[in-house]
Structure 1
Amino acid sequence: MPDARHALVLFSGGQDSTACLAWALERYQHVETIGFDYGQRHVVELECRLNVRAQIHENFPQWRDRLGPDHLLDLSLLGQISDTALTEKREIEMNANGLPNTFVPGRNLLFFTFAATIAYRRGLNVLVGGMCETDFSGYPDCRDNTLKALQVALSLGMDAKMTVETPLMWLDKAQTWALSAQLGGEELNALIVEHTHTCYLGDRGQKHEWGYGCGQCPACALRARGYRGWKEHGSSFADTHRGDL
């Protein structure tokens, strides 16, 4: 029997958030999605996210009745006050503080705060995000401790228990491919290859075995390396994380 709680997935239309959506649909009775338009260079992801939702609804009947409405919020102000390679056309490089200039300060903190506001209004009490400490670019708002602290703050500030779930937190990208294969089989990973978007530059003109993208930016490199690792060791990864469902 599914968990009776209702969940809201932070859903960008990328590989990680699609794996998280499948994870939530497998687990919870009712699942809604939320996305954010914050002036990102890869704004094409907003179109991809709708395609992914439509494909899941059409091709995964076991999840169809659990998939609820989608919400899209305009957070363009975040892009206006940011000075990053995700919100401006500039070279991707490391900053003096040791963080890549693709880091958008406050992004995940704001995403979860706005998601919690929507969740409160709609009676949803689980927030699901694709943040990860294993394969990430050093973003401090992807760390487990950050999100645990945020869960406490949101629950206190809303005077309602909000659970923040991060099913990918301790998985590398190869294990994420294995998890989605375990959840939805080859069909789900084929959907991820064809319809999701990860490339920081918003390039959908080149198709690779792992999906569309420039093939050079950090997001593409990580996705490609994970795909190759999954293809080489997929069965062992799946066995290792079978208990995560």
Structure 2
Amino acid sequence: MKAVILLSGGLDSSTVLYQALADGCECYAISFDYQQRHKRELHSALAIAKTAGVVQNQIVTFDLRQWGGSALTDDTIDLPQKRSLEDMSQNIPVTYVPARNTIFLSFALAYAETIAAERVYIGINALDYSGYPDCRPDYIQAMQEVFRLGTKQGREGKTITIVAPLLHLKKTEIIQLGNKLGVPWELTWSCYAGGDIACGVCDACQLRLAAFVELGLKDPLAYR
């Protein structure tokens, strides 16, 4: 069974790739250079794809800095730093990139239909403190209908299925799953800040670090 995996190189998407492999899928990874602040993640995506032995890893390039609207695509918007987990859960943060997952899934759908894949895997998580609107169950349900109605394959009764195995897992549970699957955490990247060493203070770093600490494990990634 062919599957397209949305692979950012982060903890979640890397776990999803390894889950797809465990599910017996022939994996085709797709990553995105959208001129994000943290383009360093693409190095991890390539390393993870190579280690996992994916059939092919595509990097799609486009520029969301043209209109910004997010701390990840607009340098005039400051990244949140050193926030408590409680603070992170209050509102949708400035790291939300407008319609990002819809854009990503559209590319993945086009790729999947072209290679006659049956599945698209995505590492979204509804329990994450960020609460992004495009990381929720009703969003996935709506996009699944788009997959059915918006493709030749779907209209012919062979709808490409969106698989979101981490949707209802806590970060600690994702790490536990990744450990079981053998995900090489040292190759992954979660930090939102630019640079070659993870900052340790942005929301993504803090969520990751807190989960490893809660499990009594050491994150093998180096931090500033």
Letter in 2 for 1:197: W
Match of 2:5 in 1: 9
Answer yes or no: is the 8 Å Cα contact 2:91–2:130 preserved in 1: no
Once the two structures are superposed, the pairs formed by residues 1-245 of structure 1 within 5 Å of their partners are 5-57=1-53, 67-76=54-63, 78-89=64-75, 90-93=77-80, 98-159=91-152, 160=154, 161-184=159-182, 188=183, 191-192=184-185, 194-205=186-197, 213-231=198-216
How much has 1:228 moved relative to structure 2?
A: 1.3
Letter in 1 for 2:73: T
Distance in 2 (alpha carbons) for counterparts of 1:21 and 1:29: 9
**CA displacement 1:25-66 (0-9 Å, x = unmatched):** 110331110011111000011112111222333xxxxxxxxx
How much has 1:142 moved relative to structure 2?
A: 0.6
Distance in 1 (alpha carbons) for counterparts of 2:68 and 2:166: 27
Mark the CA change 1:117 to 1:168 in structure 2 (over 3 Å): closer, same or farther. Answer: same
Letter in 1 for 2:172: A
**CA displacement 1:2-23 (0-9 Å, x = unmatched):** xxx2110000111111000000
Q: Number of paired residues? A: 203
How large is the RMSD of aligned CA atoms in angstroms? 1.7
**Identity fraction in percent:** 33
Mark the CA change 1:88 to 1:82 in structure 2 (over 3 Å): closer, same or farther. Answer: closer
Answer yes or no: is the 8 Å Cα contact 1:174–1:228 preserved in 2: no
Q: TM-score, normalised by structure 1?
A: 0.78
Name the SS of the counterpart of 1:55 in structure 2: helix
Higher helix residue share: 1
Q: TM-score, normalised by structure 2?
A: 0.85
Answer yes or no: is the 8 Å Cα contact 2:29–2:49 preserved in 1: no
Distance in 2 (alpha carbons) for counterparts of 1:88 and 1:199: 16
